[in-house]
Structure 1
Amino acid sequence: MAGDEDSLAGNKNGERTIDPSSPYYIHASDYPRQMQANDPLNDSNYSDWCQEMTNFLFAKNKMGFVDGSIPKPDQSKDMYMPWLRCYAMIKGWLTTAMEKEIRGSVKYATSSLEIWSDLRERFGKESAPCAYELKQDLTLIRQDGSSISTYYTKLRSLWDEIQTVLLPPR
């Protein structure tokens, strides 16, 4: 990626440091087992999990590692070790937010992009059966004594989920 070398700067001791605005920067408070999704990824919550993880990765300036816009550099490049540290951190974040069975299926991945793509392929497919089930849920929902705001929140959640399932392919 052009400008990667600009991410490195020398400090007063002559050591190279990473600019805090760089995607290669890892804050001292970051750690691999940091929880960043409300519920671990399972067979039925990929859409919600993906949204939460995407928000978390954008906030940490690491989305480029999972969407492929920050490719793995050559081992001979200065940015190889910072990339490797970021990969280890992101892999920790992703796997911490998965059920054990799913975690085992991605433990040998060689990049965050590989993990992200594998999960999207397995769980993120447009699903006519899922859309059908959600539409059925929508027809069965009733207020049943709950407040208007609670009822509307349930409706809105189903509508949003249906929209997510029916999104056109990218």
Structure 2
Amino acid sequence: MANNRNLHLNQDPTSVYFIHPSYASSSQLVSTKFNGTGYANWKRSMILSLSAKNKLSFVDGSLTKPYNATLEGKAWDRCNDLVCSWLLFNLDDVIAKSVLFFKSAREIWLDLDERFGYTSMPQLYSLEQ
């Protein structure tokens, strides 16, 4: 929720629904697009970028979707779409196509984590050595 009730949700810089004019949907948030390797590094970079923009709550599950018919519900939809577009733009084309039809940034995030967020035993052994 916005702290300043005089401002619209997407105009209050303290609100998770704030959208700065520089927030382009085709922004390269991290140095390289995720192509299937180096998921932990890509994920950490995305977390930092999303946190800096006050949008981490759209992927980490701490912000639930409000009722659609409210102003907050409409603001949530708009910000969720923005975060989805950032995620898609920062993924390799093949991976982006595989998550294109998920409805929320959280669903995309969970799918990527499920597919790429594991550590294999040989990788773990190699890291420990």
1:111 corresponds, among 100, 104, 113, to 104
- Which protein, 1 or 2, shows the higher relative CO under an 8 Å CA cutoff with sep ≥ 6? 2
Give how far 1:133 is off: 4.2
Question: Structure 1: how far apart are the matches of 2:74 and 2:3?
Answer: 13
Taking structure 1 as the reference length, the TM-score comes to 0.69
Share of identical aligned residues, percent?
35
Distance 1:7 1:109, change over 3 A: farther
Question: Structure 1: how far apart are the matches of 2:36 and 2:122?
Answer: 14
1:124 paired with 2:117, answer yes
Deviation string 1:8-35 (CA, Å, 9 cap, x unpaired) is 7346xxxx45311111101011111111
Q: Where does residue 43 of structure 1 map in the other structure? A: 36
Runs of 4+ in 1 over 6 A off after TM superposition: none
Question: Structure 2: how far apart are the matches of 1:68 and 1:92?
Answer: 18
Question: Structure 2: how far apart are the matches of 1:7 and 1:102?
Answer: 37
1:66 paired with 2:62, answer no
Q: Where does residue 9 of structure 1 map in the other structure? A: 5
Give how far 1:126 is off: 2.8
Give how far 1:125 is off: 1.2
Give how far 1:7 is off: 5.1
Say which SS state the counterpart of residue 5 (structure 2) adopts: strand
Count of residue correspondences: 128
The 5-angstrom pairing of residues 155-170 of structure 1 reads none
The structure with more radius of gyration: 1
Say which SS state the counterpart of residue 102 (structure 2) adopts: coil
Q: Where does residue 85 of structure 2 map in the other structure? A: 92
Say which SS state the counterpart of residue 22 (structure 2) adopts: coil
Distance 1:7 1:92, change over 3 A: farther
Structure 1, unaligned stretches of length 5 or more?
A: 139-170
